Every structure is written in structure tokens, then in C-alpha cells.
Amino acid sequence: SRRVFSGIQPTGSLHLGNYFGAVQKWVELQNLGGDTIFSIVDMHSITLPQDPNVLQNNVLKVTASLIACGIDPEKSVIFQQSKVSQHAELCWVLGCLTTMARLAHLPQFKEKSATLKEVPLGLYLYPVLQCADILLYRATEVPVGEDQVQHLQLAQHLAKAFNNRFGYTFPIPRAVVGDTNVCRVKSLRDPSKKMSKSDVDSKSRIDLCDSPEIILDKCQKALTDFQSAITFEPEHRAGVSNLISIHSLFTGQEPCNICKEYSDIDTGKYKLVVANVIQDYLKPIRERTEKLMADPLYLQEILEQGSRKARSMAEETWQDVRKRIGFSSQ
Ligand code: ATP
Ligand code: MG
């Protein structure tokens, strides 16, 4: 049967990339029925330095955002990764089945370590922990943004490697990824990069909770080129094309139809149009998030419930793994 797992780091507020690349699909899959499990992966987030107070608050913020976006704690399990110790335990076992060569060429490691003088071991191990997250729940489907596809391939490889060596234990997880052309939301300041929570320039992204004024300001400051026409050319005009993609994600209109509709205005005016679309769509999400954030006890209770459910699923797999690898004394 189908089991969906995915995770998000509490490294900041959710932005448009997280929403269109991942969370929107999570909600769709949740509403199709079956087991859906979503983790706030705090252990992943400390692969780069985090302020403890900020991190703690971000866990609640991400929980609130997910619920505001339509994740229903009655239908899905929402939990905090570090509350389920089996993630770290299975990570160790899988790490012993992985070679260093396989991890070194993964793009996220390359990108995130590029500017660091000293590279934390955790950043290198990150993809293995991610495999543990997925396999621990014997997930069959993993809805993620396109930047995670190569990590999913590692999870498939490790599931097969484990099954071959110790007998069938893990289904091979499948990545559920949207259309690359539109679903990879780019940075508003540097459209050669993806939009990221951890980008130091907050104007590079639009958060789901940004006020209308901030949305307008970020749209107006979005990097475009010296041409004023609205044309969709992701290769040559990445900036304006990213705005058109975002517009298209919000309205469902095809990029070429958007270009036709706005053929008589320039990029400056078009930015106002896009800002308006974003403001209207995000308003209810922002309001729901604010309401939820005003009730931290409720959010903590959701996470507590989620951890209990996740722990019992994780324990079942972990006991099976222990037996298979020879850790179990009976
Ligand atoms: P960080 O910069 O800390 O890595 P992030 O913005 O990349 O944060 P993650 O928590 O790493 O967010 O990823 C959560 C999910 O959002 C993943 O499935 C990821 O593929 C997806 N995602 C992140 N950024 C984008 C983006 N710009 N476009 C589409 N999907 C994205
Ligand atoms: Mg990321």
C-alpha cells in the first residue's frame, strides 16, 4: 500500500519554493488517503549553525505554516525528527553501507560547503540521514522539490543494497516531483539559484507570511534585465521568466498566455501585477498561520501526538532492521 513521507527543515519561514515544490503536493497526496507522514527535520537543520532560540521557534512556525497550508493533523502525521531517535540509529546503519565517494558529488553538499572553510561531517552525512528518514517509514512515495532528486536516488540505492544483503525490508521509494520548468522557484535576487530559506538575502524569497507591503517591495526589487517586454525565456531572461513562472503557479495560467495577456505593459508594471496575485493568494494562509502561532500549546500538542505515532511506526522497522543485521539477541 501507499505510504507518503517527506520533510522540511526548520531553517526559517516557508517560502514560495517550499510551497510549490513540496507542500502543495503534500496536501494533495494527504487528501487522496493512505498514510501521509511529514517531518520537521531539525536534525538536518543543524548541519549548518542555528541559534537555539530561533530554531525552537522555527519548529513551531513551520508546524503552523504546514497546517495553514492544508496539512491536517487528523489525516497526516506531523512530527519533529529529533523526537524519534530511530532516525539517528538507522542513519548509522545506512552510513555503514554507503561509500564516501557516493556522497562527495551530491550537488547540495557541493553548494552548501562551497563557501565554508571547514566542512561539518553532518553536512556530508545529510543525505544518509535523509535516506533513514524515508526508509524508517517504509515510504513508497516521497514528494520533494527537484533539488532533492539525487538524494532520492541514494535512498533507492540504499534500499536495494540493504534488501540484497539482508533480505527484503524496504520498498523502493519513488520521488514525486512536479514539472521542473515551473516548479523550481528561483531566487528573486539571483535567478541562477533556487529560492532558499537559508539564503542570507531575505529579498531573494517571498515567505508565505510576508505582509502585502513586503511582498510588493520584494517583487519590485526582483532582479530583471534591461528589456521591458514580458517574454518567457527561462534560459535567456531568467529573472522575468521566474516571475512569470510564479504567476503561473498561482493562477494555473500557461506562461505563454500570461505573456500574451500582458504584452502591452513593461516589466515594472508587470511586477505590480505579480505582487497583487501573490498578496491575494497568501492572505488566508498568513492569517491562519498567525492565528495558530498565537496558540503554541496547541502546536506542541500536535507535535507530541505526531511523535507518538511516528515513533511506533519507526520502532517496528527498527526492530526488523536489528534482527536482520544481527543486533538482536533473540
Ligand atoms: P535550506 O536553504 O535551509 O536548505 P530550503 O528552502 O531548501 O531550505 P528545505 O527544507 O531544504 O528548504 O526543503 C523543503 C522542501 O522544499 C524540499 O522538498 C525541497 O526540494 C523543496 N524546495 C526548496 N526550495 C525549493 C525551490 N526553490 N523550488 C522548489 N522546491 C523547493
Ligand atoms: Mg534545502
In degrees rounded to 5, what are phi and psi of residue 49?
-55, 135
Per-residue model confidence (pLDDT) at position 107? 87
Question: From the CA of 218, how far away is ligand 1's center (Å)?
Answer: 19
Are residues 229 and 189 both part of a single domain?
Answer: yes
Residue 180's pLDDT band (boundaries 50, 70, 90)?
low
Q: Residues 57, 3, 151, 158: is their CA dihedral positive or negative?
A: positive
Domain-embedded: residue 330: no
Statement: the pTM of the whole predicted model exceeds 0.90 = yes
Q: Which domain holds residue 302?
A: 3-177+296-325
Are residues 282 and 303 both part of a single domain?
Answer: no
Q: Is 193 a catalytic residue?
A: no
Residue 2 has which C-alpha cell?
501507499
Are residues 11 and 102 both part of a single domain?
Answer: yes
Considering only residues 111 and 29, tell me which one the structure prediction assigns the higher pLDDT: 29
ipTM above 0.90, yes or no: yes
Residue count of the chain: 330
Give me the residue label for grid cell 556530508.
124
- Per-residue pLDDT tens digits for 206-225: 999 999 999 999 999 999 99
- Per-residue pLDDT tens digits for 122-136: 999 999 999 999 999
Are residues 154 and 194 both part of a single domain?
Answer: no
Contact 127, 106 (CB under 8 A): yes
Are residues 264 and 305 both part of a single domain?
Answer: no
Are residues 135 and 281 both part of a single domain?
Answer: no
Contact 278, 246 (CB under 8 A): yes
Contact 215, 282 (CB under 8 A): yes
Alpha helices in 148-293 (DSSP H): 149-166, 180-183, 212-220, 238-251, 255-261, 267-293
- Per-residue pLDDT tens digits for 34-64: 999 999 999 999 999 999 999 999 999 999 9
Cα(286)–Cα(210) distance, integer angstroms: 7
Are residues 310 and 247 both part of a single domain?
Answer: no
206 lines ligand 1 (CB under 6 A): no
Eight-state DSSP code of residue 34: S
187 lines ligand 1 (CB under 6 A): no
Are residues 170 and 87 both part of a single domain?
Answer: yes
What percentage of the chain carries pLDDT values higher than 90? 93
Report the mean per-residue pLDDT for the chain. 96
CATH of the domain at 38: 3.40.50.620
Are residues 236 and 135 both part of a single domain?
Answer: no
Are residues 100 and 147 both part of a single domain?
Answer: yes
Domain-embedded: residue 256: yes
Cα(177)–Cα(98) distance, integer angstroms: 25
Q: Is 25 a catalytic residue?
A: no
- Per-residue pLDDT tens digits for 283-310: 999 999 999 999 999 999 999 999 999 9
Per-residue model confidence (pLDDT) at position 187? 97
CATH of the domain at 248: 1.10.240.10
- Per-residue pLDDT tens digits for 233-279: 999 999 999 999 999 999 999 999 999 999 999 999 999 999 999 99
- Best residue for ligand 1 mutational test, from 147, 200, 202 (most atoms within 8 Å of Cβ): 147
The residue whose CA is least distant from atom 8 of ligand 1 is 197
Contact 230, 270 (CB under 8 A): yes
Residue 182's pLDDT band (boundaries 50, 70, 90)?
low
Q: Is the pLDDT of residue 181 over 80?
A: no
What percentage of the chain carries pLDDT values higher than 70? 99
- Per-residue pLDDT tens digits for 59-72: 999 999 999 999 99
Question: Region 109-129: what's the mean pLDDT?
Answer: 93
Are residues 97 and 223 both part of a single domain?
Answer: no
Are residues 135 and 278 both part of a single domain?
Answer: no
Considering only residues 70 and 104, tell me which one the structure prediction assigns the higher pLDDT: 70
Query: Total structural domains in the chain?
Result: 2
Domain-embedded: residue 198: yes
